[in-house]
Structures are given as structure tokens and as C-alpha cells.
Amino acid sequence: MRIRAESLTRIYNMGTSKIIAVDNVNFDVSEEEFTAIVGRSGSGKSTLLNLIGLNDRPSSGKLLINNIDAFGLSNRELRKIRLRRMGFVFQTFNLFPVLSSVENVELPMALAGKSRETQREEAVRLLDAVGLGNRLTHRPKQLSMGEMQRVAIARALANDPEIVIADEPTGELDSKTAKEIIALLSDIHRTEKKTVIVATHDERVVEIVDTVYLIEDGKLTLETRQLQ
Amino acid sequence: MAMNTYIAFTCQVAWGLATRLLTFCFRNLFRRKVRTALCVIGVTLATAFVITIGVTTMRYTTVIKEMNVLFNGQVMVASKDAIVIQAIPIGGSMLPQSYTEERLLGIAGVEKTVPVLFVTPVGASGISQLVPVNFSIGIRVEDWKALLGPTPLKGNVGHLPSNESGNEIVAGISIADQYSWTVGSELKINGYSLNVSGILDTKLAILARSIIMPLELAQNIYNYKKSVNIITVKPAKGYSQQNLAQAIEQNVTYVNALTEEERNDIIQPVLAQIEAWSLDIQSVIVLMSLILVMTVTIMSVSERRRDFATLDAIGAPMSYVFRAVLVEASLIGVFGGVLGIVLGSVFALALASFYTSIPISQFFPGAFDIVPPLYMVEILVAVIGVCCIGGIIPAVNAARMRIAEVLRAEY
């Protein structure tokens, strides 16, 4: 999936004042590219990622997904894209506490209309792939932070999306677990051939990605690009 | 063939999604055990009160309404100072039986008269009880059909008393069950020994709670010699009840003659008011449970903003989120409704037992007569509906949650 932003701007009205969270951003992420958006806390990373993940609409500008203006589509169509073509990994995992690991991964597939058998087979395969084959029936509160993030990554891959968007995926994790998660994202990019966009301030992520963008006060600048 | 496979697959997916949604909702409710339990208890109590008030009101209004069945199409004559509730005279002076009958039979249009002595029990303070627990009815043996119609005797055992039988009575099935009377049982009223010659097998509350005896015997027992408190008058062919009642009041000045319509007119506003009161109280209770369910659901949705927003972020349709909240609210209605119906039915039986002094265990076999199954279903549907309505606003809020806004609000 190729994603291109043209003058993407997101302004929040806070009473009488305006906060420009994403300021006239332009970027181009090509298919199977591993991209990092790096910036300090409050720099606009999450806002930009929510725009890229179609979870929010911009105040102005365009986001072209395979040359189609995404924000020209209806909410219903955007939801379909989120369900079938995108996977989102949150900093705080956002797993459903009442569902087991396998059920959390099955849910997007159920919503996409896959059969029960396919859901289970695929969910077990994905959890196996992220190293949680023995934690299928555990609920989030029975898992460690690292395990929860792995389940979240498995869920993001549930409908075989073209792109995985991860917002500070290592933000809540200790350094050892963070390293494992970074390795896992790298694996997904390499073996599953997915486009991956990660917002982070973790330098270890920066070392393994193809492209690094820097975001500061909502403005995005290209830092490095080393596409193979 | 391909179409069939497609339909089967679609059904399978829909069923899978529905069961997953139900599991999701059940677990969410179970996760907040105390809150869910308190909310279910609230709905249970509300349902129980609605059932108790509804059933009790229904029971007594039905009893009052069915009293008119006894002497339909006839004019009821009672003393001017008596209050007549349908067919039952309350208070007032007694009528001299023979003298009044003679005068009535002298009026054109009177085909037949039936003198009746109704005796209701008197409470400790000397006032007739608000809800009489039993009646004694004295009526001439030859007129029994006018009162009982085709009412059979229980098990076709026994017989109706005759003029020669002296101290025989028949008892209504409810009062007989209460005191374990069977045919041949002996009982004493005001020092008179009486024999039960039959048990009336009837669903009419007034007859089921009555001891019916020959008129003269009743007059002796209750010391109303040669007196009655009501005389029913059957109009001759071609005479209307209204004209006959007017003629009676003109010729016999110490009586009131009430047509069936007039008797209904007296009681209808009272019944309507009782029913309106009952409905008002039930509406307030329903409104309170609506507010309770809405509050709890709003709290639950507000606590799980992140879950709902995540559902949106992973692409769940708005309708899925909307349904999830509605199903949770409805499940509270189902649990609260079912428990409330059981509890309310027991309350209603306990209340009936309290007012009639009949042990509650005797009400259990006929519980579905007191709390009709259709009424239970209506209440259950209404409670689930109310809970659903209570869940609509929170469900709309949940369906509108967006991950970007929720995460921004959290930081």
C-alpha cells in the first residue's frame, strides 16, 4: 500500500485558541517500506498516525492511499479500509479485557465476515508467529505487557492488512521487551512484506527502518531514507 | 446450489457474530459484578412492584366487575341508605322481606323477585372490612339457580340444600380449601351447627369465598328475622330495567332501585380511578428503572470509552457497537425482568394471602390464575423494552466514540 500525504493539517480548537497538531505535512511511503516517525512527546506523532490510520479527519490536506483521496470517502468506507487493509497497534495495547488472546485476534476477522473455523485457525497461527502459541486462552490481565503488545500486533495482522501502523509500540515496555517487539515488527515487515509505519522516540527502531521522518511542533521533515 | 452455499455461509457468519456479541456483553456485565448485580436488583424490585401492584389491582377490580355477573339483567332493590357495590349491599337498613316483596310484585312489569341476605364479616372496630374475606349468602332454595347459574359441585359430590334439609350449606371452593371442608364437614356459625352438603367449584371470587345457605337459616343465624338487605327484580318481557326501576322507586319510597347500567355507573369511576392510580404508580416505577438502567449504562460506556473507540479503530461498524450496548442493557432487563416476575408473583400471592387470611400455600396451585402468564410475558417484554430504551442514548454515545478523541482526552 502506498500512502502519500499532501499538505496534511490537523488543527484543534481549544476554546478561543487553536492548536496546530499537524502542520502542512507532506510525505510519501511506498509499498513494503518500513518508516519511522520520530519526535518528542506532544510533537504531533500520534495525531499524524491517527490521520494515516484513518481514525481522524484532517482540517485540510489530502491523504492518498494508492492514489485515492481517503478523506473523500465516507466514514463507512474508511471503516472498511481500517478493518480489511490496515492494522493498528496502540501504545497502550487496547486489548479487550473480557476477551482471551485468541478471541482478541479473532474479533477483526469475525467483523470482516470470516468463518469461525478460519478465524480460529488464523488467530492461532498469528499468535504462534508472535510467540504466544501457549497463551491462547489467557485474558489480557493474565499477560505481561510485552505479551499484551504481541497480542495487539497479532490482532493488527488479523485480516492480512497491507499496512501496519504502530503508535509508540514500545512506549510502555521495558527495554528487553521493547527490543523483542521491535524485532517482531521488523520480522513482520521482512517476512510478511507489509508496509509498516511506526511512531516512536526509541532509537533502536530508527536503526532498523528504511526511512525516518522527524516531527517537531507538527512539522514533518525527512531525516533519512535508505530503501533497499 | 451456489446460492444455497452463500446463504448458509452468511447465516453461519451472522450467527457467529451474534454469539460473539452476546459473549462479549455477558462478560462485560460479569466483569462489573457488583454494579451489574445492583442494577439487576433495582430492575428486579421495580418489576416486582409493577407486578404486585398490577396483579393486586387487577384482582380486586376483576372481583368487583364479576359481581355483576351474578344478577345481570336484573334490577337490584336495596334500602335508600345502603351502598350497593355491583350486586353487594354494604351497610344501610334491612328490608322487611314479605312486605317489600308484596309491594314489588304489585308493580306492573315485575316478573319475579328474589330476596337475598348478604352478610359480610365485620372487623374488630365494627366496620365492614375494606376487602371482605368471605360472605354468607342466604337465598330461598327455589331461587338458587338465579344466584349460582350452572355452577357445578366439586367432583359432582354432594347436593344443594333443600327446604327440608335444615342446617345444610354449600361452601365456595376457596373457603372450603382454606378450612379443609369437604362434603359432610361440620362447622359452627354464631352457635349454629351446620353441615357442608357440597363444595361449589367456581372461579368467581365472590362465590368461591361464600357460604351459601337457605334464606331462613341465614336469617336465623345472623339474627335478621324476616329481613333481607337486597331483593333482585326480574323485569317482565317488554319492560326495560330503567322504566321498572323508576316505577319501583315511585311505589316503594324507602328503596333504591338500581339497573345494571346504574350499578356500573356507580362503580366505573371508582374502578377507573383505582386503575389510573395503579397505572400512575407503575409508570413512576418504570420511569425510575429506566433512569437506573440509563445511568448504569452511561457509566459503563463512559468507563469503556477506550474499548468502544478501539472497536471503531479496528473497523467495527457503528451498528456493532450500538448493538453491544443495547444487548447489555437488554440483558439487565432479561435478568431483572425474570427475577422480578418471580418475586412480584410471590409478593402478589403474599398480599392476597394477607388480605384474605388464606395461607399462601393454598394460592400456589392457582398462581397462574392470580398472575396470568400473558401478563407475565407482557411485563417481561415491557421491562426489556424499557431497558433497551434506557440503553439507546449510551449506545449512540458509544457508537460515536473515536479513538483519536478518546486518546486525546486521556492524556
Could you count the other beta carbons within 10 Å of the beta carbon of residue B301?
25
Q: Looking at the whole model, is its pTM more than 0.90?
A: no
- CA angle centred on B401, ends B397 and B405, rounded to 5°: 130
Residue A57 burial (C-beta neighbours within 10 Å; 0-12, 13-18, 19+): middle
Question: Model confidence over A148-198: pLDDT tens digits?
Answer: 999 999 999 999 999 999 999 988 888 888 888 888 888 888 888 899 999
Residue B202's closest CA among B90, B86, B63? B63
Residue among B13, B28, B313 whose CB faces A98 most closely: B28
Question: Model confidence over A5-41: pLDDT tens digits?
Answer: 999 999 998 888 899 999 999 999 988 899 999 998 8
CA distance B411 to chain A (A): 10
pLDDT beyond 60 at B125: no
**Mean pLDDT, range B114-132, rounded to an integer:** 66
Q: Do A82 and B31 touch (CB under 8 A)?
A: no
Q: Do A79 and B315 touch (CB under 8 A)?
A: yes
Q: Do A90 and B310 touch (CB under 8 A)?
A: yes
pLDDT beyond 80 at B132: no
Radius of gyration of chain B (CA): 30
pLDDT beyond 70 at B129: no
Q: What are the structural domain ranges in chain B?
A: 27-64+269-410, 94-253
Q: What is the ipTM of this complex?
A: 0.92
Question: Model confidence over B323-373: pLDDT tens digits?
Answer: 999 999 999 999 999 999 999 999 999 988 887 777 888 888 888 888 899
pLDDT beyond 70 at B206: yes
Residue among B30, B314, B407 whose CB faces A46 most closely: B407
Q: Do B314 and A76 touch (CB under 8 A)?
A: no
Question: Model confidence over A109-151: pLDDT tens digits?
Answer: 999 999 889 999 999 999 999 999 999 999 999 999 999 999 9
Q: Do B13 and A98 touch (CB under 8 A)?
A: no
Whether B18 and chain A come into contact, CB under 8 Å, resolves to: no
User: d(Cα B163, Cα B25) in Å, to the nearest integer?
Assistant: 72
Q: Do A55 and B313 touch (CB under 8 A)?
A: yes
Least confident range of A44-48, B77-81, B133-137, B276-280: B133-137
User: d(Cα A64, Cα A6) in Å, to the nearest integer?
Assistant: 8
Whether B22 and chain A come into contact, CB under 8 Å, resolves to: no
**CATH top-level class of A31-59+72-225:** alpha beta
CA distance B299 to chain A (A): 17
Q: Do A98 and B316 touch (CB under 8 A)?
A: no
Whether B12 and chain A come into contact, CB under 8 Å, resolves to: yes
Residue among B24, B31, B404 whose CB faces A56 most closely: B404
Question: Model confidence over B64-110: pLDDT tens digits?
Answer: 777 777 777 889 999 999 888 877 888 888 999 999 999 999 999 99
Question: What pLDDT, on a 0 to 100 scale, did the predictor assign at position B124?
Answer: 47
Whether B107 and chain A come into contact, CB under 8 Å, resolves to: no
Q: Which DSSP helix (H) or strand (E) runs through B136?
A: strand B135-139
Q: What are the structural domain ranges in chain A?
A: 31-59+72-225
Grid cell, residue A48, equals 499524524
User: d(Cα B145, Cα B106) in Å, to the nearest integer?
Assistant: 24
Residue B211's closest CA among B307, B283, B132? B132
Cβ-based contacts of A113 with chain B (< 8 Å): 13
